[in-house]
């Protein structure tokens, strides 16, 4: 039933240690993205375990073609709203492009700002080049979710949003990156757009919770973008996503009916 979760989940989903226990109990958890108070509150009411304020807001909210123009100030603004709307969920915030790549100290300053805005854990993209940064942050009380596979901030380098880890060499590199990031102190590992067997192998060998998006059913948790779940984009749905609602049509119909009632003087009623 919507909104019902394991009682232990409700008391432990705000705790990263609770997510560790869920992994070892083979309890699968659900993430979704959200970018404002209203949708965060609805997600919490529906029983979502964790909410990511993703730099995907550049595409879903701002209408950009990728995530690269999202600023740290924008991430702070949206994190504050989501944290107010879902105080019982684990809140994860993205470090946006340009806010962490120059070194560990820049990453710490940016991550600390997002935690002060309400984030419980910080996500950063990248494999081996981020090992030193992850270790630096972990030593300074910043919980990190490492993001490997398709990392959208590298879209210009990839030449598009392309599936990763599809060759033996590429798969081996992702496994090595995952092992190194975990050893450096990452508390969670997100894998995007990689083959299901590869995600399953990394999850099996990982002592920390894994999160999948387009990575098959065998990760410890799953995440999708809110706008894809609700069908708010009438023109595009990623191949790995699933629409649970034809939101674009329903909302368009509702607004159209509202406009029609105004033009016909049906609304507002006389009192």
Active-site amino acid positions: 192
Q: How far, in Å, CA of 104 to CA of 110, rounded?
A: 10
Q: How far, in Å, CA of 43 to CA of 132, rounded?
A: 34
In degrees rounded to 5, what are phi and psi of residue 183?
-65, -30
Cβ atoms of 192 and 150 closer than 8 Å: yes
**Is the bond leading into 268 cis (omega within 30 degrees of zero)?**
yes
Three-state secondary-structure class, residue 147: strand
Cβ atoms of 198 and 204 closer than 8 Å: no
Cβ atoms of 235 and 252 closer than 8 Å: no
């Amino acid at each position: 039933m919507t909104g019902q979760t394991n009682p232990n989940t409700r008391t432990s989903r705000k705790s990263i240690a609770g997510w560790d226990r869920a992994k070892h109990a083979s309890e699968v958890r659900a993430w979704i993205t959200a970018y404002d108070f209203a949708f965060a509150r609805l997600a919490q009411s529906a029983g979502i375990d964790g909410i990511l304020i993703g730099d995907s807001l550049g595409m879903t909210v701002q209408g950009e073609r990728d995530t690269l123009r999202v600023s740290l100030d924008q991430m702070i603004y949206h994190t504050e709203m989501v944290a107010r709307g879902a105080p019982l969920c684990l809140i994860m915030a993205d470090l946006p492009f340009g806010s962490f790549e120059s070194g560990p100290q820049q990453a710490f300053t940016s991550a600390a700002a997002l935690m002060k805005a309400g984030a419980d854990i910080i996500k950063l993209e990248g494999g081996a080049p981020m090992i030193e940064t992850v270790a630096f942050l972990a030593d300074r009380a910043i919980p990190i979710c490492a993001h490997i596979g398709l990392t959208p901030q590298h879209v210009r380098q990839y030449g598009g949003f392309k599936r990763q880890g599809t060759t033996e060499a590429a798969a081996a590199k992702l496994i090595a990156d995952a092992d190194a990031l975990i050893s450096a102190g990452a508390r969670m590992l997100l894998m995007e757009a990689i083959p299901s067997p590869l995600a399953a192998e990394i999850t099996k060998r990982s002592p920390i919770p894994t999160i999948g998006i387009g990575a098959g059913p065998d990760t410890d948790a799953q995440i999708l973008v809110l706008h894809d779940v609700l069908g708010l984009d009438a023109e595009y749905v990623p191949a790995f996503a699933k629409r649970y609602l034809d939101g674009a049509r329903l909302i368009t119909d509702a607004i159209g009916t509202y406009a029609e009632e105004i033009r016909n003087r049906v609304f507002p009623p006389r009192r």
